[in-house]
Amino acid sequence: MIKFFIQTYGCQANVADSQAIANFLSDIDCEQVFSSEFADLIIINTCAIRDKAEQKIYSYLGRLAKLRKQNNFLNIVVVGCIASYKKQEFYSRFPFISFVTGAKDDKNLLQKKLVDIV
């Protein structure tokens, strides 16, 4: 069974989106864990409202790089507002990221990619 962890940075819309993603993953028999250390899939839900949140995301991804080196099977997905306009930057700065999709991108594509990862 795939274990997933969601880290949410942002507003109420991000919290609601994270809950929807968690519900979707639970529906396809994944288990939510509450620490990134125990996850096979880490989803980072981003908000672009404040620069501080963006800096926290980059710092968190830097820490996840170490975790990814320890676990080659770990998948890391970035979703949300910042992912909408910095998709290429995420891929170039953090090549270990499995998938990036923006808040305005097709939700069905996100679900398909998550199913592929699972």
Question: What domains does the chain contain, in order, with CATH numbers?
Answer: 3-117 (3.40.50.12160)
How many angstroms separate the CA atoms of 56 and 17, rounded?
Answer: 19
Percent of the chain with pLDDT over 70: 98
Per DSSP, 77 falls in state E
What is the β-pairing status of strands 31-32 and 3-8?
parallel
For 3-33, write each residue's pLDDT tens digit.
Answer: 999 999 877 888 999 999 999 999 999 999 9
Query: Under DSSP, is residue 42 helix (H, G, I), strand (E, B) or coil?
Result: strand
Query: Is pLDDT at 54 greater than 90 in this prediction?
Result: no
- Is pTM beyond 0.85? Reply is yes
For 58-81, write each residue's pLDDT tens digit.
Answer: 999 999 999 999 998 999 999 998
Residue position matching structure tokens 């990134």: 36
